[in-house]
Structure 1
Amino acid sequence: MMPKVSVIMGVLNSQETISKAIESIVSQTFKDWEFIICDDGSTDETYNIVYQYSLKDRRIKLIKNEKNMGLAYSLNNCIEHSMGDYIARMDADDVSHSDRFEKQLKFLELNPQYDFVSCSTLMFDEDGVWGVLEGKPEPVKKDFLYGACFNHPTIIFRKESLIKASCYNVAKETRRCEDYDLFMRMYLLNMTGFNMREPLFSYYESRRAYSKRTYKYRIDEAVVRFKGYRSLKILFPLGIIFVFKPLVVGLIPARILHAIKQRLYKKKDSIQT
């Protein structure tokens, strides 16, 4: 019997957090799922940990890239192996609340006009929850000037919509913003998403996360913005200014950037990157 939902996750050297992420899927109140996990060349115990889970629960399926290929490639690999009508995202250092699938699927079934749904997110680190992300409920094309509009690992897609959009773009410039690129391409095809207000997801992000974002990825994001804005016809007049936003943000010291995000998220403003 085919599962209703295929959960997809790419993993790389996530031995410290992977168990908690998997357990949050196993604990879902909605049970009709398969969990496809693609190991992207881990050199720690990640693969072995996932393998042990797959032995205990046949719904958990482990696949492996021959070498490190990046998240976009890994997610496409998961999609190729998927059998569900819906594709749910998950990341190895995050936690899905137990009723996430149940509530998001109910929303999609009651609202066929939307191609995917996201939700509000609790931001946490080693010291606990420090903020809340809330996206604009119904983003329109021009909202992509300000950011990706949706928090990628919280999303459930209709699989047919994801396939129609050709899934994830595997390219140099999408190495850290494959989601931003995908959302803009879906909106180019007149697809739409919705951000639920209820927090159904906990997303790990600490001050150290900012120091890992090298400037080359900021340049890649500027390229994604330029191409996306041009396709959506929002490049001029304001779009050309926002193309350079990641380059400016990349110059802000990590501690200051974290403090800014703390203030924004505590105010429950829209999702920005």
Structure 2
Amino acid sequence: MIKVSVILPIYNGEATLSNTLDSLVAQTFKDFEVIACIDGTTDKSESILKDYALKFKKLSILHNTINRGLGPTMNRLVYNASGTYIAVAEQDDYYYPERLQLQVDVLDKNLEIGLVSGIAEFKSGDQVHGQFPGLLVHGKQYPRGVDMFLLNYKYHIKVVNSCMMFRKSVHVENGLYFTQHYPSISVDWTYVLRFSLLSNIHGIHNVLVGLDRRSDRDSVTSNKQKQFKATRELLRAFAYEYPDIINKEVYNYAMRSQYVLEISSKSGISYIMTWLFYFIKYPFEKRYIASIKKRLLQKL
């Protein structure tokens, strides 16, 4: 039986797919299969995948005849995975050689842990712009259970979704799935929130993935207005789903966290007007003061 299934959803991936596959070929851990699903596109992604067929222990290629979106594609990939552990990969990210081995070691040695992730680098070419999440970067560890749920709800997801590895047994036995409710935005966030209430999530204090964050990158999350709308709906929906955990105070705090991001996305007069709107509405929110201080320091 194969130890790890690396699942790889693909949508118009020909420009970056080879780099991702090269990084998977270079993994020090070799007992894994790659299962890719081309989500209703007709570029050269399939041809690129076939060029790598002999470089992996097993490579499977699935096709969606129409574009189904990330959630349904992820569900299909998990269903077809035969590994004990499932590792998530994305078509435009680079995985450092020890990524899979480090994660397998954690899951093999700690049966109470159901999901493990690590640190991501934000990159533009060879230049690193930052690392995420700060909690792991500074040597801390994720809390567990409800505390982990609240951390990811109140402050937005703190788990690097593109390098998650989880036990398939936890996924199957608890009826987990990747939602299509928020199209291709926040799909992994909803998954992590639900997972945190079912099994422990662990963070590795190593950089496991380099994320391509060039300014010209074509990404669903580049549509900020769509992203913001989906995030607000996610926060509302989870407040209805988990009323015993998310009270009014928690919900309002989480929503103000979202407003901070919306303020930060603006520039020029739009930033000033948006900041004033939320500051007048929530004058005692310290994060809004921190936002404008940071912006002023950047201008000086």
The TM-score with structure 1 as length reference comes to 0.84
**Which residues of 2 match residues 171-182 of structure 1 at below 5 A?**
171-182=180-191
Helix, strand or coil: the match of 1:67?
coil
Q: 1:254 to 1:50 in 2, by over 3 A?
A: farther
Does 1:152 find its partner at 2:161? yes
Q: Deviations over 1:25-52 (max 9, x none)?
A: 1111111100000001223211221123
User: Aligned to 1:228, which of 206, 213, 238?
Assistant: 238
Q: Deviations over 1:94-153 (max 9, x none)?
A: 011111111111011122211100011121113521211135321322202101120101
- Post-superposition offset of 1:230: 4.2
Helix, strand or coil: the match of 1:199?
strand
User: Aligned to 2:225, which of 203, 215, 223?
Assistant: 215
Does 1:200 find its partner at 2:208? yes
**1-structure distance, mates of 2:193, 2:239:** 8
* Farther-moved stretch of structure 1 (53-62 vs 147-156): 53-62
User: Aligned to 1:138, which of 128, 142, 156?
Assistant: 142
* Farther-moved stretch of structure 1 (43-52 vs 54-63): 54-63
- Post-superposition offset of 1:162: 1.7
**Which residues of 2 match residues 40-119 of structure 1 at below 5 A?**
40-54=39-53, 57=56, 59-119=58-118
Question: What stretches of structure 2 of length at least 5 have no aligned partner?
Answer: 136-140, 272-300
* Residue of structure 1 in register with 2:252 after alignment: 240
CA contact (8 A) 2:25 2:55 kept: no
Q: 1:56 to 1:188 in 2, by over 3 A?
A: closer
Q: 1:157 to 1:219 in 2, by over 3 A?
A: same
- Post-superposition offset of 1:234: 2.2
* Residue of structure 1 in register with 2:175 after alignment: 166
**2-structure distance, mates of 1:253, 1:147:** 16
Q: 1:164 to 1:250 in 2, by over 3 A?
A: farther
**1-structure distance, mates of 2:175, 2:255:** 24
Count of matched residue positions in the alignment of Structure 1 and Structure 2: 256
* Residue of structure 2 in register with 1:121 after alignment: 120
- Post-superposition offset of 1:73: 1.0
CA contact (8 A) 1:7 1:34 kept: yes
AA aligned to 1:66 is: T
CA contact (8 A) 2:120 2:208 kept: yes
CA contact (8 A) 1:85 1:160 kept: yes
- Post-superposition offset of 1:248: 5.6
Q: 1:73 to 1:255 in 2, by over 3 A?
A: farther
* Residue of structure 2 in register with 1:249 after alignment: 261
CA contact (8 A) 1:175 1:217 kept: no
CA contact (8 A) 2:72 2:180 kept: no
* Residue of structure 2 in register with 1:14 after alignment: 13
Q: 1:246 to 1:43 in 2, by over 3 A?
A: farther
Helix, strand or coil: the match of 1:143?
helix
**2-structure distance, mates of 1:56, 1:99:** 18
CA contact (8 A) 2:34 2:56 kept: no
Q: How many percent of aligned residue pairs carry the same amino acid?
A: 24
- Post-superposition offset of 1:78: 0.9
**1-structure distance, mates of 2:241, 2:134:** 23
CA contact (8 A) 2:118 2:206 kept: yes
Helix, strand or coil: the match of 1:182?
helix
AA aligned to 2:131 is: V
Q: 1:107 to 1:55 in 2, by over 3 A?
A: closer
CA RMSD of aligned residues (A): 2.5
AA aligned to 1:163 is: V
AA aligned to 1:192 is: N
- Post-superposition offset of 1:216: 2.3
The TM-score with structure 2 as length reference comes to 0.77
Q: 1:126 to 1:254 in 2, by over 3 A?
A: farther
CA contact (8 A) 2:3 2:85 kept: yes
- Post-superposition offset of 1:171: 2.6
